[in-house]
Amino acid sequence: MSHQSPTITLHMVSSLDGFIARKNGDVSWMQSTDHYEKGTTLTEEQITTFLQSVDCYVMGSRTYEHALELGWPYGNTPVIVLTNRDLPNKRGTVEFYSGTLQRLLSERLKPHFRNVWVVGGSRLTKDFLQQNLADEIVLSIMPVILGDGLPFFDHIGTERQLHLKDSTAYKDGMVELRYTVQQETSKH
Ligand SMILES: NC(=O)c1ccc[n+]([C@@H]2O[C@H](COP(=O)([O-])OP(=O)(O)OC[C@H]3O[C@@H](n4cnc5c(N)ncnc54)[C@H](OP(=O)(O)O)[C@@H]3O)[C@@H](O)[C@H]2O)c1
């Protein structure tokens, strides 16, 4: 049992022009065919260490439904899916939640988890940012311009200063940016 607030990281994979899915929800563009000679690749060990460090994933119901279709990438790590619908539970590690994000944090996340990753979609990440609940943002930019689709930052209506903590370029042309979210500065 833990009593401190967990670190909440928003993670999104985006096109260079800021879209996280095509209009029809397609995310096949995430498979890059690019090659960046100076880029790095993660070892199996680094991937395992990262996956073990995440205690819990949080996602919107559409991301959940899409992940079930595409092949579950979250292993046996607990997943909380936000929905107002009565969805079928297709995985033993999934819990459904309906309510405010504040209550989600205080009742479901804070008592159990230290390192929580919010993995989309667009509406949910926007809600976390607007309500000042995100500590970190990890943005993985793929080498593609989609022109249209579901935007990551869609007029969230609040301003935030960020601190760049890390950046990594990968062999497949993906660039990963890691930021700490600073205190809210102004509201429009
Ligand atoms: N590029 C990426 O990294 C990435 C990441 C994730 C997803 N995606 C893509 O993005 C698309 C889905 O994104 P999206 O923005 O359309 O949807 P989403 O955020 O996954 O889901 C939205 C739904 O979540 C539920 N929800 C959100 N907040 C809630 C709350 N406080 N209480 C209860 N329910 C709540 C509602 O579900 P109900 O309607 O069920 O009530 C809402 O309709 C998919 O195509 C997916 O593949 C891309």
Neighbours of 119 (CB within 10 A): 23
60 lines ligand 1 (CB under 6 A): yes
Residue-number span of the structural domain to which 133 is assigned: 7-20+32-187
What's the 49 CA to ligand 1 centre distance in angstroms?
Answer: 27
Examine residue 27 and state whether it is found in any structural domain, yes or no: no
Examine residue 67 and state whether it is found in any structural domain, yes or no: yes
Examine residue 155 and state whether it is found in any structural domain, yes or no: yes
For the domain that residue 131 is a member of, what is the CATH number? 3.40.430.10
pTM over 0.85: yes
142 lines ligand 1 (CB under 6 A): no
Examine residue 171 and state whether it is found in any structural domain, yes or no: yes
**Are 120 and 59 spatial neighbours (Cβ–Cβ below 8 Å)?**
yes
Examine residue 96 and state whether it is found in any structural domain, yes or no: yes
Q: Where are the beta strands (DSSP E) in 106-157?
A: 115-118, 136-141, 150-151
One-letter-per-residue 3-state SS of 44-77: HHHHHHHHHHCCEEEEEHHHHHHHHHHCCCCCCC
39 lines ligand 1 (CB under 6 A): no
Examine residue 2 and state whether it is found in any structural domain, yes or no: no
Total structural domains in the chain?
1
pLDDT tens, position by position, for the chain (188 residues)? 456 889 999 999 999 999 999 999 999 999 999 999 999 999 999 999 999 999 999 999 999 999 999 999 999 999 999 999 999 998 899 999 999 999 999 999 999 999 999 999 988 999 999 999 999 999 999 999 999 999 998 888 888 999 999 999 999 999 999 999 997 655 44
Examine residue 70 and state whether it is found in any structural domain, yes or no: yes
Q: Residue 41, exposed/middle/buried by CB under 10 A (0-12, 13-18, 19+)?
A: exposed
